[in-house]
Amino acid sequence: MRNTIMQLIHDLRFTENLTPGLLSSIVSLSRIERYEKRDSWLSRSERNKEIGLLKIGSAMLYRYEHGKQHVIWLWSKNDFLIEGSLLLARSHPDDRIVFLESTDVILLDIQQLRQLKTYYAQIDQLIGALITKRMEQIQSDFYHYKFRLPHERLKHAKEFKKNPFNRLTVMQKASYLGISKQSLYNLLYDSK
């Protein structure tokens, strides 16, 4: 777990400013929890209390509307479930984050993380860097799904969300791409 967290901090290009005590404190506040396929993450009472990092595995955010399941978001290995908390906080009551396979999640309690500020002023910079990196990824994903043609969205999903995308049913894939089931079949047939 320490190596995973250290790699994340290194990826944020924050290691030169990191004191050894801060890393040790973050690791001591972290815990790994295993979720099985179809388990849900975050009940209503847990919303906005924890940050989750998918160490291995994948998850999806979905909603039922008019009797149909709509896949809204996908997460895969090394993705943060930060926006999961944010999306659920402002979401429809039927929204769910469900794991698509056995998944290990590194969990950090947000309140405990904030308490580290007393000892480490760097925590705000670290959280800011983390949020900035995630927002850049969200903007990129949003761009690919809102301003691209269906065949481009399919290509992007297969490339960058391969593991979770491949675990979806045909109906879920079509929903995630914002197209009909028949349009997805046509795209898959045309790409062969």
The reported pLDDT for the residue numbered 147 is 82
How far apart CA 107 and CA 84 sit, in angstroms, is 13
Contacts (Cβ under 8 Å, ≥6 apart) of 87: 61, 72, 73, 95
Residue 119 lies in a domain: yes
Q: How many domains does the chain have?
A: 1
* Contacts within 8 Å (CB) and 24+ apart, 134-143: 134/80, 134/82, 134/83, 138/83
25 in a structural domain? yes
The answer to whether position 168 is within a domain reads no
- Residue 153 located in a structural domain: no
The CB density around residue 105, as the number of other CB atoms within 10 Å, is 22
Q: Is residue 161 part of a domain?
A: no
The full 3-state SS of 5-23, as one line of letters, equals: HHHHHHHCCCHHHCCHHHH
Distance from C-alpha of 87 to C-alpha of 29, rounded to nearest angstrom = 24
What's the CATH code of the domain at 69? Answer: 2.60.120.10
Domain span at residue 46 reads 2-147
Domain annotation covers residue 15:
yes
Give strand pairing partners of 30: 108
User: Residue 45 has what pLDDT?
Assistant: 47
Residues 6+ apart with CB under 8 A from 63: 69, 70, 72, 91, 92, 94, 95, 96
Written as tens digits, the pLDDT of the chain (192 aa) is: 667 666 666 665 555 566 778 778 888 888 888 999 999 886 544 555 777 888 889 999 888 888 888 888 888 887 877 655 555 555 566 678 899 999 998 888 878 887 888 888 777 777 777 777 777 777 777 777 778 888 888 888 888 888 899 999 999 999 999 899 999 999 988 866
Q: Give the tokens for residue 105.
A: 């999640």
Q: What is the pLDDT of residue 185?
A: 92
**Mapping DSSP to helix (H, G, I), strand (E, B) and coil, where does residue 58 land?**
coil
Q: Is residue 152 part of a domain?
A: no
- Per the domain annotation, does 179 fall within a domain? no
